[in-house]
Amino acid sequence: MTENEIILLSVSGIFVGIINTLGGGGSVITMALFMAMGMPVGVANGTNRIAVVMQNLSATVSFMRKRMLDIKSSFLLSIPAILGNIAGSMVALDVDDTTFKICLSVVLAVILVYLIMDRNKPNTHAGHELVIKWWHYLLFFFVGFYGGYIYIGLGFLILAVTIWTMNLDIVTANVLKGCVIFLSTPFALGVFMAKGEVVYDAGLIHGAGNIIGAILASHWAASWGVKFVKWFTLFIIVVSFIDLVGLISLQDMLSRML
């Protein structure tokens, strides 16, 4: 790798770690960067999982130390997510632009509508046992499948499911999201590693930046509260939409920096 690539991987990793911990959508930047470096979509998809695991590990540990994580509920919901993650990664092929845009558009639209219509809930759930219905396990299986297959936008999808069906505030939903992703993603990463679709040096450098960003963001989430996280998430969703419809191209921007 060139010096510019190492610097860009590190700096963008910090930014992506912040985005993913506070909301989601950072993998759009990661995938654009990896493809700008010449990786095929499938390899970029697999390499991205290294940073995902590292970032969500650090975020989960930080939230646990602040007693914001309900460990029992997180583990229970992670079981179907793990099964779905394995299934999704085993059938994962190069994702064409049409499939990507349809999936991401639906996920973004769902969480965007909810956040705009939702009133700011007080952060009352964090650290307390959540109420889990039987159909939540089914939802998290499909969430896991999507994460294993495409992953991009998974954070938004989990936010939509947990906020809408479990009546969580966005901070608590983010805490749960990070733990479920951390516990389930290594299984998909293992499948991509077995298929030879992982570039380890790029993934580890980017992942190191993700850890720094996740630690910073977990502190901000606890300190700045629900309202800040909500508006930050809305901002990232809008930027993702602009990129999705072609008004800007993150991949072209990153290519010019290399």
Task: Domain count for the chain, please give it.
Answer: 1
**The model's pTM:** 0.81
Summarize pLDDT for 118-127 with one digit per residue, the tens: 655 555 555 5
240 with 101: CB under 8 angstroms?
no
pLDDT, average across residues 113-118: 69
Is the CA virtual torsion 132, 80, 208, 35 positive or negative? Answer: negative
Summarize pLDDT for 25-80 with one digit per residue, the tens: 788 788 889 988 999 888 888 999 999 999 999 889 988 888 888 888 899 999 99
| 216: Cα separation from own chain's centroid | 16
User: Which is nearest to 83 in space by CA: 140, 36, 162, 43?
Assistant: 140
Q: Say how many CA atoms lie within 13 Å of 63 toward its Cβ.
A: 31
Contacts of 113 (CB under 8 A, 6+ apart): none
Residue 53's domain comprises 3-257
Summarize pLDDT for 122-161 with one digit per residue, the tens: 555 555 568 889 999 999 999 999 888 878 778 888 888 8
* 41, 223, 234 from 2: Cα distances, Å: 21, 38, 34
By the 10 Å C-beta count (0-12 exposed, 13-18 middle, 19+ buried), 97 is classed as exposed
